[in-house]
């Protein structure tokens, strides 16, 4: 929310009182006009913490990053973009700084970029928006959202026009200039977003834009104690694979050669190099005697279609898994 000024203590207390009354946990403000020498200043007001940076003197890019520890970690970037009449190079520099800031945030964090972007987004770039056309600053904002995989929360829901505009000029014209951006991976946690006049007593020409987010974390599925996986999943368990590797380490190179020969169409033959495969074949209950034409056709069909052979007590799918793991 662009508060225009909260330099006086009474204005800050009025702002915080509104936040407490309407259960607003985090608020990003612009144009606070509080000047201080420290790069970042922390101030306690009615039990709430106000974090400010004197942008005009300490940080020309007008970007503040707040990290909140928890499950999951949350990062809020507050920004105040140049107006649409500013030089384009200045606007581009600001968005470059904003891109670098976003890139520095871990990918698993819940990320929100909030602020006064001084840009209009039209219906060609968003489904539910106040304006028909996107202006220059709006194009910078849309490009940033697409590039960084962000969604614009207050253009995400169908709302009447009165819930969309965020700024009223002295002439009475209304515009949507303030936005809340959220990482797209968390869009299902976004419950609502809209603008309203709740904090109008602060005396700003901007309205507050709020979003309601409820994080839903997926619980890891675990099997009840004593139960084991069966069927196709049993071959994927580490204990199954390790036991097979320990028991059938000998002779896997000949097994690979046999498989290739079958798929090429020529029946395999056991030579002197393949003598070590016989114990493995016997342990698996596989016939190692000379192949008949019928047995050869069944073996080839089993390898191609992934089915088990009648003479194999060991399922063909598991056998192939073990052979390729060796």
Angle at the Cα of 23 from the Cα atoms of 21 and 24, rounded to 5 degrees: 110
Q: Are residues 200 and 255 in the same domain?
A: no
- Report pLDDT for 90: 92
Q: Does a structural domain hold residue 72?
A: yes
Which residue, 150, 185, 213, sits at the end of a domain?
Answer: 213
Q: Does a structural domain hold residue 224?
A: no
Average pLDDT over residues 96-104: 94
Mean pLDDT computed over every residue of the chain: 76
Q: Is 314 in contact with 284 (CB distance < 8 Å)?
A: yes
Q: Is 235 in contact with 321 (CB distance < 8 Å)?
A: yes
Q: Number of folded domains in the chain?
A: 2
**Tokens in use for 269?**
């033959």
Q: Are residues 262 and 301 in the same domain?
A: yes
Q: Are residues 287 and 179 in the same domain?
A: no
Residue 263 pLDDT > 90, yes or no?
no
- Report pLDDT for 118: 92
Q: Are residues 205 and 303 in the same domain?
A: no
Which structural domain range is residue 320 located in?
231-325
Q: Are residues 194 and 147 in the same domain?
A: yes
Q: Model pTM? A: 0.64
**Tokens in use for 198?**
């709740």
Q: Are residues 198 and 307 in the same domain?
A: no
Q: Does a structural domain hold residue 139?
A: yes
Q: Does a structural domain hold residue 220?
A: no
Which residue, 187, 213, 239, sits at the end of a domain?
Answer: 213
Q: Are residues 270 and 237 in the same domain?
A: yes
Q: Are residues 256 and 209 in the same domain?
A: no
At 198-257, the pLDDT tens digits run 776 777 888 889 999 887 666 656 656 655 555 444 444 555 444 444 444 444 455 555
Whole-angstrom Cα Rg for the chain: 33
Residue 48: name the closest of 14, 78, 90 by CA: 14
Which residue, 213, 244, 270, sits at the end of a domain?
Answer: 213
Q: In sequence order, which residues have a C-beta less than 8 Å from that of residue 207 and are 6 or more positions away?
A: 1, 165, 166, 167, 168, 178, 195, 196, 197, 199, 200
Backbone φ and ψ for 235, nearest 5 degrees, come out as -75, -15
Q: Does a structural domain hold residue 130?
A: yes
Query: Which of 66-70, 78-82, 308-312 has the weakest average pLDDT?
Result: 308-312
Q: Does a structural domain hold residue 1?
A: no
Q: Collapsing DSSP states into helix, strand and coil, what is residue 10?
A: helix
Q: Is 63 in contact with 97 (CB distance < 8 Å)?
A: yes
Q: Does a structural domain hold residue 2?
A: no
Query: Which of 33-37, 145-149, 280-284 has the weakest average pLDDT?
Result: 280-284
Residue 147 pLDDT > 50, yes or no?
yes
Q: What is the CATH number of the domain that holds 58?
A: 3.60.10.10
Q: Are residues 152 and 285 in the same domain?
A: no
Q: Are residues 203 and 169 in the same domain?
A: yes
Q: Are residues 237 and 207 in the same domain?
A: no
Q: Are residues 155 and 38 in the same domain?
A: yes
């Amino acid at each position: 929310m662009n508060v225009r000024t909260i330099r006086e203590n009474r204005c800050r207390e009025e702002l915080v009182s509104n936040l407490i009354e309407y259960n607003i946990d985090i608020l990003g403000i612009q144009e606070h006009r509080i000047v201080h020498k420290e790069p970042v200043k922390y101030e306690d007001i009615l039990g709430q913490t106000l974090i400010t940076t004197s942008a005009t003197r300490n940080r020309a890019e007008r970007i503040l990053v707040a990290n909140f520890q928890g499950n999951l970690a949350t990062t809020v970037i507050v920004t105040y973009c140049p107006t649409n009449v500013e030089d384009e190079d200045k606007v581009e520099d600001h968005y470059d700084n904003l891109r670098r800031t976003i890139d520095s945030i871990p990918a698993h964090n819940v990320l929100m970029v909030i602020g006064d972007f001084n840009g209009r987004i039209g219906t060609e770039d968003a489904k539910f928006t106040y304006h028909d056309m996107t202006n220059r600053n709006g194009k910078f904002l849309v490009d940033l959202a697409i590039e960084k995989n962000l969604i614009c929360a207050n253009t995400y829901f169908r709302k009447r026009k009165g819930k969309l505009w965020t700024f009223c000029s002295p002439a009475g014209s209304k515009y949507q200039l303030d936005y809340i951006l959220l990482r797209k991976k968390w869009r299902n946690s976004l419950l609502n977003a809209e603008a309203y006049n709740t904090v109008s007593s602060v005396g700003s020409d901007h309205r507050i834009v709020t979003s309601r987010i409820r994080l839903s974390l997926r619980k890891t599925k675990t099997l009840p104690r004593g139960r084991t996986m069966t069927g196709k999943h049993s071959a994927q368990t580490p204990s199954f694979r390790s036991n097979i590797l320990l028991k059938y380490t000998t002779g896997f190179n000949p097994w690979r050669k046999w498989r290739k020969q079958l798929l090429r169409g020529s029946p395999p033959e056991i030579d002197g190099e393949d003598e070590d495969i016989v114990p493995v074949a016997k342990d698996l209950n596989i016939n190692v005697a000379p192949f008949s034409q019928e047995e050869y056709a069944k073996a080839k069909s089993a390898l191609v279609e992934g089915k088990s052979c009648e003479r194999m007590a060991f399922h063909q799918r598991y056998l192939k898994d073990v052979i390729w793991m060796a």
